[in-house]
Chains A and B, each alone.
Chain A
Amino acid sequence: MKLVPYKPFSPAKIDRFFSDFFDRDLGSFFGSDFYDHTPSVNVREDEKAYTLEVAAPGLEKEDFSVEVKDDQLIISAEKKVEREDQNDQYTRREFNFSSFQRVFTLPEGIEGEKIEAKYDRGLLQIVLPRKEMEVLNKRTIEIG
């Protein structure tokens, strides 16, 4: 099989490169090869909860660990069962999420006991509900 040479410095990759540097923790940046091994994360917010989505395809839910420690949310994964055949040879590798860790500082007012997580279609979704008080505290201020 002939493959067009992989060009790590094509424009798209440079874009990636710099955003890695600014957005991601330095450990994973410096330790990285050219392929992606730290998953992207979206964080959404609505009145009731914060929702984190981690794009980490190719894992099983048992591979993840989600931990709350003080005000930090620690998300990590370690692939337990390596299904790849020893004879499989990667001729091109752009992603491998089999081992990673990302840490987020939690905002105040999270109901730590009620954090829920699920893994579906390669997305790890973590819902962090706000405390009741936080929800009730929202009020409209009328202009007198």
Chain B
Amino acid sequence: MTLLRTKPLLRNGYPAGSLSEPSMNVLEREDAWVLELAAPGLEKEDFELEVAEGRLHIRAKKDMAPGEQETFLRREFGGYDFEKTFRLSEKVEAEGISASYEAGILRLTLPKAENAKPRKVDIQ
């Protein structure tokens, strides 16, 4: 799998704290790769996930404007408006990709295709 950013980071050009580009962890298990996106404060409905033409698209947009009677004394994070795109290699079983959102983390599991899994070789 190759990770590529097809769009510039949205945080660029915005004042700090106005929009968040989520941090991401990638971990490898024996049978899958797992992407973890740190995106606290959202609902699972705020995400749009799409697999098309060998690419995985992750989008989320949420305005987190303050209430009318409120003022911000400190603002280190803001709402979301991001899109991340990953090119899926043939090592990923695209049909089997699943996602969950829990404790502010969007977790995508990308199962390995059979040919990418480790296998033991028997000695004849």
Measured CA separation A95–B102 after assembly (Å): 16
The answer to whether B26 and A3 have CB atoms under 8 Å apart is yes
Is the beta-carbon distance between A123 and B23 smaller than 8 angstroms? no
User: Which residue of chain A has its CB nearest to the CB of B101?
Assistant: A121
Query: Within the assembled complex, what's the spacing in Å between the Cα atoms of A95 and B42?
Result: 17
- A19-B16, A55-B41 given as contacts; is B76 within 8 A of A90 (CB)? no
Most buried by A among B4, B5, B34, B66: B66
Task: Name the one of A3, A43, A121 contacting B41, with C-beta atoms under 8 angstroms.
Answer: A121
Shortest C-beta distance, B101 to chain A (Å), equals 8
Question: Is there an interface contact between A92 and B71, defined as CB atoms closer than 8 Å?
Answer: no
- Tell whether, in the assembled complex, residue B103 and residue A42 are in contact, meaning their CB atoms are under 8 Å apart: no
Contacts of B25 in A (CB 8 A): 90, 92-96
Pair B104/A55 contact, Cβ less than 8 Å: yes
We find that the number of chain A residues with CB closer than 8 angstroms to chain B is 44
Question: Within the assembled complex, what's the spacing in Å between the Cα atoms of A3 and B35?
Answer: 12
Q: Are A40 and B103 in contact (CB under 8 A)?
A: no
- Report the number of A-B residue pairs with Cβ-Cβ less than 8 Å: 136
Q: Which of A87, A90, A95 contacts B30 (CB 8 A)?
A: A87
> Which residue from A10, A57, A93 sits with its C-beta under 8 Å from B103?
A57
Assess whether A58 is in contact with B11, with CB atoms less than 8 Å apart.
Answer: no
Q: Which chain A residues border B73 with CB–CB below 8 Å?
A: 43-45, 50
The residue in A1, A4, A44, A53 that gathers the most chain B C-beta atoms within 10 A of its C-beta is A1
Tell me if B42 and A121 are in contact (CB < 8 A).
Answer: yes
A68 to B28, CA, bound (A): 41
Within 8 Å CB of B105, what residues of A? 57-58, 122
CA distance A23 to B77 in the complex (A): 12
Q: Which residue of chain A is the closest to B77 with respect to CB atoms?
A: A40
Contact A43 B3, beta carbon cutoff 8 Å? no
Q: Would you list which residues of chain B between 10 and 26 have a CB under 8 Å from chain A?
A: 11-12, 16-17, 21, 23-26
Measured in the bound complex, the distance between the Cα atoms of B30 and A97 in whole Å is 25
Pairwise interchain contact B39-A57, C-beta atoms closer than 8 A: yes
Q: How far is the CB of B42 from chain A (nearest CB, A)?
A: 7
A32-52 CB contacts (< 8 Å) to partner B: 35-36, 40-47, 50
- Asked if A11 CB lies within 8 Å of chain B CBs, one says yes
CB interface residues, A 1-30, toward B, < 8 Å: 1-4, 10-12, 15, 19, 23
A4 to B84, CA, bound (A): 14
Q: Which residues of B contact A (CB under 8 A)?
A: 1-5, 9, 11-12, 16-17, 21, 23-30, 33-34, 36, 38-43, 66-67, 69-77, 89, 91, 103-105
